Structure 1
């Protein structure tokens, strides 16, 4: 095993077409083309034994310090590198995004501007992309102001006013004036590079600040929520509206665990929580595109059957393979491309896609509201929810070697039927409303019969994680959020007590502690901690929820973000980054816990 020094102190940049991760030393160590699930031409993050490959780095001679920050209310990153002799440079990273010629300009491009800010800095540029998942170096050609990189089926062109010979040779040289770099489409750069990139920088800055200006933020934790909101938007592939679970693949959930998954896809199980967060923010542009993506999934569903995840283009086939030339994060392979979970049976998907899509029947802000034709298609999904509510599945935790009737899946199937009743009433269809009401009641009765563990002399009763077993999992906390139970229901109080006793580890929550396909879990799952915070707040345990929320915020990276998992002893982050689940956890809990704006008026 190799240790490249990699960690999750990463700073995402992007434009809703491409995204990149900048590390603590201003290295672009992760970036895929032509979109988030494409070939990682910058892959040093997962190249533990060759961290000098698949990277774009500016190395300051004699460097002793580095500091980083985003420009306020933007994903524009500024990294300051300082040398022992007092010289310093600032590197500005962004992916252009702004309206031009009546449409959004968001090219497959990374823009970097180097500005000398003290002394006479000496810099070396290491620009070493790879292709074919780290297996090959590109062929290059160059002219007086550009370098062309042939990256398998793709090609990119670096346009720059820096000395091309120095860039190609990796030679250290004095930086005496601002230098501009545009790595983008393989076409001649039109116009004055310096002027055009500075204009792009200003227009991109203006776009993001105006976008943030339109958000509905809570009174408290505004900076935290804004950063998560910007990053959540970066996780959207704007062309289709899909929102990916994370921007990376194969960051292990725990050291050496082999729990390395590709999260650059759209999980249906995320959709309810994501839409909830977008509603809290009032981010209608992201919301409408996402609802459009989900409607396309429903339209394409054969007989109403929904699978757990899809590509950002809506493709159903996501064949999983190993990238043998990438040794993995800190050398902890394997690096997986694709995700075999698309083949799994996960019945919670039916509720997960119905719950967010029903909003379009009620929300009059939307440009395109849903109609009776949409309801007819959605009823096919509801029919599958009814048929599958008491059938075994892999569950939302995606067990690969066993199936049971999972309580969470059954509750989500109940929610699908319950919400279809609401839509039928909205559309003035009393017969269909009664139909779905009866089905929801039948599913509820089955859950109460088969998932409830009765009281004994030694313990109070509780809901269990599956109909067949008496183990617990953190998804039971969502019975309140999904409105299956009310906050004052004693059955939920006893269930949350049981879940906390079994799964809480100080400030953190495990998903479950039962051994799975890869052994017992070794880290806490961050969204489960946010679920606990949500449940505590809804039950009136407000102060306890606030304290736990503040503790979770304290574990964020310097970029203000969280990954999927956390070592509940050391607090170290693990799992893919930044995790959409964790982003929406911050947004939703902040909105729930914050003081009201009226308190300062």
Structure 2
């Protein structure tokens, strides 16, 4: 039996400072604490023997497991149907405060809803990616797992006269095991708390139920702010909640994914750490959430960006780094965890990210596009924000016309990527619009001249007459799916003959049964070994491009087919493999934000088919 569940066989819970993944059999096999980018406490997802886990499952007999989210929340329910009864594990994390804290609580509420179910519980943390030892101390009310300075406390959930989950056994490897028999109507379980101020305590079931209700109330209250009333409301609600779960509330930073090391090819080496905030990914996410009516996240992210700009003034070669830790620091040195075998043998397992020092000029276009979108939703840049924005444009005016590493963070050297030029054009275009609309000071004539130079250059060097398409980089004939955004950002008219020709060329080279590859690594070596699957962001961008070009039937079919690749919970990883499996870090902000964009665009196009 394969000890690694499918990537798709997971749900995510979180408290807006960190997150955990729970497999379909009730195992927490990924949890970093106290932040998304902190070392792992449970990491069995990347090494089933050394990574650590928290497992709850029926003790005896065959069982069938099913998962669902409590409607319109981030509360995950794993149901177990056994011959003797039906039980549930309800996993949730109450939202943490907007103040950074080491105190986080993961509730595992066990309940029997029919008959009788005996649960086996095993809690086996492995701190600091399994590199740090710990001691285990059991008391009459729970357990302390001590790996100084970090501690994890297990509080037993029980009635005062209930001895269940008190008879715990500490194993030779400093794990804890217990058996918990339940009958219909009973609620028990435990709470895992980091940074607890006192010793373990017994928690009454009624207290857990109140925490459950408060958590549900928070998520339903947040989701009620959505203005989306289109055809795919339930799907978009799930994607919105997923993006919100990847938001670090104390700063407004949004991580690209809550995981590290999940492979783009099983057994391959394209295994990256995505637990950080990319300017590009977060800007895209803010844009998508704004499209659903969520404005608070945009305002928080804008303040975070202004802080990054002020902190970096005069200290670096660029006004912004391409990525940061969630607290805004930029030490992302990449190291490998050689003691971990990786997901299904996919090595190396990397933490940190070596791409952090790359030059990626497109990030400024994504940033300005989101800022302009926020402006359209009534969020205006204040004095400090406009100083940062105008400073970025001044720098970009001197630096846009140079090779960079590109959106896909290839490690094959710098090139004149067309997408980088496209998004530089977007940065100037949106900056000019904001300045003129809000009467903000700045060298608008200079920015306009730079914008027009880029426009002329792309049409002259980015269009390949032989391929009859816009190409990945100048002086090449390679196609790249990043350019599916050209019409969406307004660079080319959606009915331009050259745009139609580009879509046709991409369909021939990059599209396979509606799924879209980023580029052909054989035609455009990227300095990395191995292959990868189709890139889900690109597939949803393809839907956008088709809808904008008037191919509505085709766009809807591609979108509906893409929805069939979602997991049982409506979640998506970064890529989809040849057999339809989810690949890469999970869940992926890129995919969920592009799903939202595609649905909003397609809804509008279907409602207004003639313009």
Q: Same fold (TM over 0.5)?
A: yes
Q: 1:352 aligns with which of 366, 376, 393?
A: 366
Question: Could you tell me how far 1:151 is from its partner in structure 2?
Answer: 3.0
Task: Flag the 1:67–1:2 CA change in 2: closer, same or farther, 3 A.
Answer: closer
DSSP 3-state at the match of 2:256: coil
Query: How many pairs were matched up?
Result: 587
| Bigger Cα displacement from structure 2, 542-551 vs 276-285 | 276-285
DSSP 3-state at the match of 2:486: helix
Supply the distance in 2 between the matched residues of 1:247 and 1:405 (Cα, whole angstroms). 32
1:483 aligns with 2:507: no
Supply the distance in 1 between the matched residues of 2:528 and 2:3 (Cα, whole angstroms). 23
- Structure-1 residue corresponding to 2:119: 123
1:165 aligns with 2:174: no
Task: Flag the 1:98–1:263 CA change in 2: closer, same or farther, 3 A.
Answer: closer
Supply the distance in 1 between the matched residues of 2:442 and 2:70 (Cα, whole angstroms). 55
Does the aligned pair in 1 maintain the 2:34–2:103 contact within 8 Å? no
DSSP 3-state at the match of 1:133: helix
Task: Flag the 1:137–1:331 CA change in 2: closer, same or farther, 3 A.
Answer: farther
Does the aligned pair in 1 maintain the 2:14–2:93 contact within 8 Å? yes
Please list the CA deviations of residues 221-264 of structure 1 after superposition, one character each: whole Å capped at 9, or x if unmatched. 11111111111100001111011111111100112220000000
Question: Could you tell me how far 1:200 is from its partner in structure 2?
Answer: 0.8
Supply the distance in 1 between the matched residues of 2:191 and 2:3 (Cα, whole angstroms). 31
Q: 1:395 aligns with which of 379, 392, 406?
A: 406
Q: 1:243 aligns with which of 233, 251, 254?
A: 254
Question: Could you tell me how far 1:43 is from its partner in structure 2?
Answer: 0.7
Please list the CA deviations of residues 131-160 of structure 1 after superposition, one character each: whole Å capped at 9, or x if unmatched. 121234421223210211113431121111
- Structure-2 residue corresponding to 1:533: 543
Does the aligned pair in 1 maintain the 2:142–2:202 contact within 8 Å? no
DSSP 3-state at the match of 2:167: helix
Please list the CA deviations of residues 425-470 of structure 1 after superposition, one character each: whole Å capped at 9, or x if unmatched. 123358733221111111111222221223x5xx6x3211111322
Show the 5 A alignment for 1:443-454. 443-454=454-465
- Structure-2 residue corresponding to 1:234: 245
- Structure-2 residue corresponding to 1:556: 566
DSSP 3-state at the match of 1:113: strand
1:65 aligns with 2:64: yes
Supply the distance in 2 between the matched residues of 1:518 and 1:429 (Cα, whole angstroms). 44
1:582 aligns with 2:584: no
Task: Flag the 1:105–1:394 CA change in 2: closer, same or farther, 3 A.
Answer: closer
Question: Could you tell me how far 1:18 is from its partner in structure 2?
Answer: 2.1
Supply the distance in 1 between the matched residues of 2:497 and 2:387 (Cα, whole angstroms). 38
Does the aligned pair in 2 maintain the 1:17–1:106 contact within 8 Å? no
| Bigger Cα displacement from structure 2, 528-537 vs 506-515 | 506-515
Supply the distance in 2 between the matched residues of 1:525 and 1:350 (Cα, whole angstroms). 22
Question: Could you tell me how far 1:354 is from its partner in structure 2?
Answer: 2.5
RMSD, matched Cα: 2.5
| Bigger Cα displacement from structure 2, 512-521 vs 123-132 | 512-521
Question: Could you tell me how far 1:4 is from its partner in structure 2?
Answer: 3.1
- Structure-2 residue corresponding to 1:32: 32
- Structure-2 residue corresponding to 1:312: 326
- Structure-2 residue corresponding to 1:383: 394
Supply the distance in 1 between the matched residues of 2:96 and 2:416 (Cα, whole angstroms). 48
Supply the distance in 2 between the matched residues of 1:499 and 1:362 (Cα, whole angstroms). 32
DSSP 3-state at the match of 2:104: coil
Please list the CA deviations of residues 72-100 of structure 1 after superposition, one character each: whole Å capped at 9, or x if unmatched. 101111111122x322311111001388x
Show the 5 A alignment for 1:410-449. 410-428=421-439, 432-449=443-460
TM-score when normalising by structure 1: 0.92
Supply the distance in 2 between the matched residues of 1:6 and 1:374 (Cα, whole angstroms). 43
Question: Could you tell me how far 1:296 is from its partner in structure 2?
Answer: 2.0
TM-score when normalising by structure 2: 0.91
Does the aligned pair in 2 maintain the 1:2–1:331 contact within 8 Å? no
Does the aligned pair in 1 maintain the 2:547–2:605 contact within 8 Å? no
Q: 1:96 aligns with which of 65, 86, 94?
A: 94
Question: Could you tell me how far 1:204 is from its partner in structure 2?
Answer: 0.8
Task: Flag the 1:491–1:132 CA change in 2: closer, same or farther, 3 A.
Answer: same
Supply the distance in 1 between the matched residues of 2:266 and 2:597 (Cα, whole angstroms). 29
DSSP 3-state at the match of 2:168: helix
DSSP 3-state at the match of 1:481: coil
| Bigger Cα displacement from structure 2, 103-112 vs 389-398 | 103-112
